[in-house]
Amino acid sequence: MAALLEQTIRSEYHRLPVGERKIADVLLQMRGELAAYSATELAERAGVSKATASRLVRRLGFSDYQQLRQQVRADGANGSPLAEFAGALVKKDTLARHLDHDVACLTSSLEGIPADQIRRATEMLAKASRLWVIGFRNSHALALYARELLIQVKPNVRLLPAPGQTVAEELSALADSDTVLALGFRRQPREFVKILQVVRQIKARTLLIGDSSIEDLDKQADITFRCQSHGSGLFDTYVAPMSLLNYLCSGVAVVLGKAAQTRLRRSEQLHRQFGDFGSPP
C-alpha cells in the first residue's frame, strides 16, 4: 500500500533537511492509513511545525496535501476493491462463494461486539434462577441448540414453544428472577412480540438475539445482539447466531464455575452410561 509514495520519499530522502526527515519518517511508518490523518496531526507526531510538513509535501512534488492524500488513497484502494474484482474474475465456484459469504457474515456479526456486552449477557444467563429459551420457526433450531448447551451447565432451562402446549400456559410460571433468551430471526409470529412484552411486564430479564428484522424490538430487551442472517442462496444463514450462542454458553459455564463443571461432567457420564455410539459398551 502507498508504494508509490514510499518510492518518492526514499528517492528524495537524502536531500531532506532534518525537520522534513522527521515527517518523512512518520509518513513511512503510517503506510496505508496515512490518508486518515491530517497534516497537522502528522506534524505534531513528528514534533515539527505545520509549516515544515507543508514544505515537505511540496518538495515531494505534490501541489498540496490534498493531492498527496488522494494518491495514497487511490494507491491503497488497490488493496481491497481490486481484490474483489479479481475474485470475481477468478470465477470461484459457487461453493467457494457461499463459503466466503458465510465467513463474512460470521465475522461482521461478531467482531464488533464489545466485551462488556458479552460479559453482561453471560452473567444475566448465569445468574438467572430459571432460563427460558424462545424461538419460533427458523429460530427454533437455534433455540434448541441453545437449550442443549445451557441444560448441561444449569438446571431449569426450558424451551418454548413446546409441542402440545401453548406458550401462554407455559409462561405463566415466569418469575422476575428468570431470564428469557429470545431468538428473533426473520419470520417470527406476532406472538413473539407479545411474549417479549409480557416478559417485560413481569420484570424478568430478556436477552434478544436476532437479525435486522427485530428493528426497534430491542427496546423490549435488556441486551440485544444483532447478527447478519442473509444467506448466499435462497435461505437465511444462521452461522453467526450459532457461533455466538456457543461462545455465550461457554462463558456461562465459566461464570458458574465449579457447579457447572461438575454438572457437565455428570452429563458426560450419563451419556456414557446411556450408551453412546463410539463409547465402550
Footprint (CB under 8 A) of its own copies, residues 161-220: 163, 186-190, 192-193, 212-213, 215-216, 218
Q: Tell me whether the omega of the peptide bond preceding residue 241 falls within 30 degrees of 0, making it cis.
A: no
- Mask for 88-107, x = binds its own copies (CB under 8 A): -----x-xx-xx--xx--xx
Report angle CA 233, 108, 238 to the nearest 5 degrees: 45
Distance of alpha carbon 93 from alpha carbon 99, whole angstroms: 10
CB of 224 to DNA, least distance (A): 21
Considering only residues 24 to 63 of the shown chain, the ones binding its own copies according to CB under 8 A are 30-33, 35-37
- H or E stretch at 211: none
Task: Pick one of its own copies, DNA, none as the site partner of residue 276 (Cβ within 5 to 8 A by kind).
Answer: its own copies
Q: Do the beta carbons of residue 96 and residue 142 sit within 8 Å?
A: no
Decide if residue 140 touches its own copies (CB under 8 A).
Answer: yes
Distance of alpha carbon 158 from alpha carbon 147, whole angstroms: 7
- Return the residue of 71, 171, 226, 256 that touches its own copies, per CB under 8 A: 226
Task: Pick one of DNA, its own copies, none as the site partner of residue 243 (Cβ within 5 to 8 A by kind).
Answer: its own copies
Nearer to its own copies, 82 or 175 (CB): 82
Nearest to 34 by CA among 23, 48, 50: 23
Task: Pick one of DNA, its own copies, none as the site partner of residue 64 (Cβ within 5 to 8 A by kind).
Answer: DNA
Task: Pick one of its own copies, DNA, none as the site partner of residue 206 (Cβ within 5 to 8 A by kind).
Answer: none
The binding site for DNA (CB under 7 A) comprises 17-20, 38-41, 47-55, 57-58, 64-66
Q: List the grid coordinates of 139.
A: 429460530
Q: Do the beta carbons of residue 278 and residue 145 sit within 8 Å?
A: no
